[in-house]
Amino acid sequence: MHFSLHITSNYTIYIKLTIILIVAVVGLLLAGCSESQPQAPKGATQARAASSVPARWYAAEHVTKGGQFYAQFCASCHGVAGQGAFNWKQRGADCKFPPPPLNGNAHTWHHPSRVLIKIIKEGSPGGLGNMPPWGQVLKDGDIAAVIAWFQNEWPDPVYAAWYQREMKSRGQN
């Protein structure tokens, strides 16, 4: 009796260990990418909080010129209208993020222009993502024009929210 009980408890422990192992393996598979997930964009709510609508910094010719560069160098990844990859919030099989929307639906507006310029010139920060560097291809004025092109896709509240951060980053707020 004692012997069989002993066997049963060993067997139970064996089953428990197996379950723990399966859970751990499945967990590892699901959480294969080590870094934390990006936060859902708060753009819509925060952007709406901005009260006045500032004038756009660019002129129509920036947008036209930027649109040509955009179509040539950016649209293949970020989409013809800047809509991004459909699954941009989910890491891909390589654990890197797909191209996000630049059209105001994601968090591009979080970045003041010096950060936008840096990302476009140097690509993904630390070379850790799939955004290629464009500093060898596009001149400063071209990059400004491309930024004007995608900012022109942003609704006024999104632009206003970006503008607040822009002023802050320039120490003017």
Q: Taking CA 162 as the corner, what is the angle to CA 100 and CA 69, rounded to the nearest 5 degrees?
A: 50
Q: Does 67 participate in binding ligand HEC (rule CB under 6 A)?
A: no
E strand intervals along the chain: none
54 sits in the region (left: phi over 0; alpha: psi -120 to 50; else beta) called beta
Rounded Cα distance, 145 and 62, in Å: 5
Among 97, 154, 162, 163, interactor with ligand HEC by CB under 6 A:
97
Q: Point out which span in 1-9, 16-24, 91-99, 163-171 binds ligand HEC (CB under 6 A).
A: 91-99
CA angle centred on 84, ends 78 and 90, rounded to 5°: 125
Candidate list 144, 146, 148, 158; residue touching ligand HEC; CB under 6 A: 146
In terms of CB distance, is 56 or 107 closer to ligand HEC? 107
Q: Does 117 bind ligand HEC (CB under 6 A)?
A: no
Count the site residues for ligand HEC by CB under 6 A.
24
Q: Using CA atoms, how far apart are residues 38 and 156, in angstroms rounded to an integer?
A: 25
| CB-nearer residue toward ligand HEC: 50 or 82 | 82
How far out from the chain centre does Cα 146 lie?
18
**Under rule CB under 6 A, residue 135 binds ligand HEC:** no
Report, in Å, the least distance between residue 50 CB and ligand HEC.
18
C-beta separation of 61 from 140 below 8 A: no
Binding site for ligand HEC (CB under 6 A): 73-74, 76-78, 97-100, 102, 106-108, 111, 116, 119-120, 124, 129-132, 134, 146
